[in-house]
Structure 1
Amino acid sequence: MSVHPLVIFFASIFTSNMIFSNFLGMCSFIAVSKEIETATGLGIAVTFVLTITTVLNYFVYKLLIHFGLEYLRFIVFIIVIAAFVQILEMVIERYFENLYYALGIFLPLITVNCAILGVSLFMVIRDYNFMQSLFFGFGSGLGWALAIISMAGIRSRINENNLPEGLRGAPITLIITGIMALAFMGFSGIVSIS
């Protein structure tokens, strides 16, 4: 049974969110979610990278299968992701200098963001066609962006001065992430692609 691309799109945002259901991409999620502007910039960058690299990796994978080189998919997927992120980094540095410095080391680290590779691998495991892969990549990016922007909004509202010392920083972020994951579980009855 083939799943409609729009079902995959909405499921990848809400019920199969890369952060809240698979916990992929947590390092940059926790580190960059301190300010809304920076989180929005990284969310847009990750969405863009996820969408384009999923499509590129779809075609690369189909080409590898054609030549019987499917076992090289991990290496080739990482090369495609790294090349695309390098190009994106150069564009952001050239045209969005403030965002480039705000993102700092986390922009080139999109290359090793496990959510990026995870989406390409899920696409292969679930045997998605082109449209399903496109909607899955874009929806996963939007879901990741929604998660990091929401976290940045919550963290900006928390007055850490009133928190006990042991909860400041990463501990409260992990607690909020868990609560947000529970909230997103409320969407689980709507649609699922797992």
Structure 2
Amino acid sequence: MNTESLGTIFLNASLVNNFVLAYFLGICPFLGVSGKMETATKMGGAVMFVMLISSVCAYGIHAFLVVIDAPYLQLISYIVVIASTVQLVEMFIKKMSPALFQSLGIFLPLITTNCAILGVALFQTNKGYGLLESVVYALGAGVGFTLALVLIAGLRERLTFAEVPSISKGTALTLFIAGILSLCFMGFAGLGA
């Protein structure tokens, strides 16, 4: 059983140990969907929802696998839950907002392979979190993921109007910004003590 407070768990997951900017998990949607603020926020919401559902399911699956003494099925079970949840989210977005479905493109089904979501399930299990702690951890990780997406999307939108040397346009500038954001988030490391 873990003795951290819920606030500490949330802050650690969202700021101190941000999955994108500290662990470098989920870089594909971070770089691919962060061109526009609107798309970034909606992708962040979709990832947060999948993280929450996967976290609750991972807690239940882990408890069940411990009872039947089959912990070797943990990883494959988590992957199946994540893939199923992403399919539900994809069908919901396609039905409710075809424009958003088009703007997210290939990155929506790629949530299935987003290692940040699998990381949440595995990290919460390894830390021995209970159900409420797991939900708070997943919510914090989702907020941190969305925050990283929104920050880089805002910077990229602003830089479309700036005069940037041709040598650093495009991907080079995006990676440079991501590196600076990562360094900024390293400043939160003191909060984790």
How far apart are residue 160 of structure 1 and its match? 7.0
CA contact (8 A) 1:160 1:168 kept: no
Q: Percent identity?
A: 41
1:115-152 CA-to-partner distances (Å, cap 9, x unmatched) read 00011111111111111111000100000000001100
Letter in 2 for 1:119: V
Following TM superposition, the consecutive aligned residue runs of length 4 or more in structure 1 with deviations greater than 6 angstroms are none
Q: Which runs of 5+ in 2 are unaligned?
A: none
Letter in 1 for 2:187: G
Distance 1:161 1:168 in 2: 11
- TM-score normalised according to structure 2 size: 0.95
Distance 1:4 1:131 in 2: 11
What pairs up with 1:45-194 in 2 under 5 angstroms?
Answer: 45-159=46-160, 162-191=163-192
Distance 1:62 1:145 in 2: 29
Distance 2:41 2:168 in 1: 25
Superposed CA RMSD: 1.3
Letter in 2 for 1:87: L
Distance 1:53 1:142 in 2: 15
The equivalent of 2:41 in structure 1 is 40
Secondary structure of 1:181's aligned partner: helix
Q: Which runs of 5+ in 1 are unaligned?
A: none
How far apart are residue 161 of structure 1 and its match? 6.9
CA contact (8 A) 1:9 1:136 kept: yes
Distance 2:25 2:110 in 1: 14
Letter in 2 for 1:125: N
Distance 2:28 2:95 in 1: 26
Deviates more, 1:163-172 or 1:182-191: 163-172
Say how many residue pairs are matched. Answer: 192
The equivalent of 2:25 in structure 1 is 24
Distance 1:189 1:181 in 2: 15
Distance 1:25 1:116 in 2: 8
How far apart are residue 186 of structure 1 and its match? 1.5
How far apart are residue 166 of structure 1 and its match? 3.0
Distance 1:83 1:6 in 2: 30
- TM-score normalised according to structure 1 size: 0.95
Letter in 2 for 1:77: Y
Distance 1:16 1:29 in 2: 16
